[in-house]
Amino acid sequence: MNSHPYDPLTPDTVIDAVESTGRLSDARLLALNSYENRVYQVGIEDGQPLIAKFYRPERWSLAQIEEEHSFSLELQDADISVVAPMVDDKGCSLHEYQGFLFALFVRRGGYPPELDNLDNLLVLGRTLGRIHSVGKASRFEHRQRICVQRMLADNREFLLQEFIPAELRPAYETLTADLLKAVLDTYTPAAEDEIRVHGDCHVGNILWRDDVAHFVDLDDCVMAPAMQDLWMFLNGERHDREIQLSELIEGYSEFCDFDPRQLRWVEPLRTLRLINYAAWVARRWEDPAFPRSFTWFNTERYWAEHILELREQLATLQEEPLRLL
């Protein structure tokens, strides 16, 4: 039987880890939907439950996690609505127990924002503008950057060798070669275009409450163009996406300048995510949490539909960039 990094993380270990920070648990434990890391709601005696996040071993270095925490706390100190890790009396936000690095967070309620509501998009734009105004103040020294080689070229080779069914391999190989060329021709940010960003801005990482967007899970914060945090809120037909984008940028521009050159990077960034997401699930396939949660993955039907989606994406890459209305 294959082992995986979380084999030793039993319920007792989770509770013992939390109690190692000086808190007493009431032994109530609820596993939350999380795959890359393991996240639990842990009951606390005479207090509100806390959220404990256990980082996947060997994914991030200590320096990379510390930069994530530092950025989160910097945003929190600027009164921006992010859910940052709790800091103990010694000024520590990152803890270690039996080889696992973990952090504790206050439990925050909310629900995903409705993206068909333009007022919500305006608020999201304002919040991201504030996040990016802080993100521009300095650079990550250890975190990754959005990189075509890593996210597309390397992942393409991995999937071709390990996962794409033989009968679909020629189609995938040709198609992804065309996508790689199209992305390299279009996605050409300079170093000054890259700032510290959230990196994984989908609605599942936003808790909406009382007309405030609380951003959670900065686990994928990176150096990237501002557009990386904006494009995932766009959906529907082209005109719908242009309306959504215009509303986002209207709010964003109240706090941070937006460079319209980045409009051309929406579809290249989407392309990188499509291929990177498939490779991410594939690379984690020996972790039992993934086959259990992604039951549709790694079937011939999935790969055929993935190739169809990539064909449509190649066609979209040939279109004119979105416009601000």
> 23-44 b/e with 16+ CB inside 10 Å = b?
eebeeebeeeebbbbbbbebbb
Please tell me the pTM assigned to this model. 0.95
Structure tokens belonging to residue 224: 């990237």
Check residue 19 and give its pLDDT: 96
DSSP 9-28: --HHHHHHHHHTTT--EEEE
The pLDDT confidence band at residue 1, using thresholds 50, 70 and 90, is very low
Q: Is the pLDDT of residue 2 over 80?
A: no
The CATH number fitting domain 11-106, selected from 1.10.3660.10, 3.30.1180.20, 3.30.565.10, 3.30.200.20: 3.30.200.20
Q: What is the dihedral of CA 182, 188, 193, 195, to 10 degrees?
A: 60
Exposed/middle/buried for 295, CB within 10 Å: 0-12, 13-18, 19+?
Answer: exposed
Check residue 52 and give its pLDDT: 97
Write down the residue that tokens 């960034």 correspond to.
269
Indicate which residues carry an active-site annotation. Answer: 200, 217
Domain edges within the chain: 11-106, 118-317
The closest alpha carbon to 258, from 249, 248, 245, belongs to 249
Range 313-320 average pLDDT: 96
Residue range 242-254, pLDDT digits in tens: 999 999 999 999 9
Which fold, 118-317? Answer: Transferase(Phosphotransferase); domain 1 (1.10.510)
Length of the chain equals 325
CA contacts within 13 A on the Cβ side of 292: 7
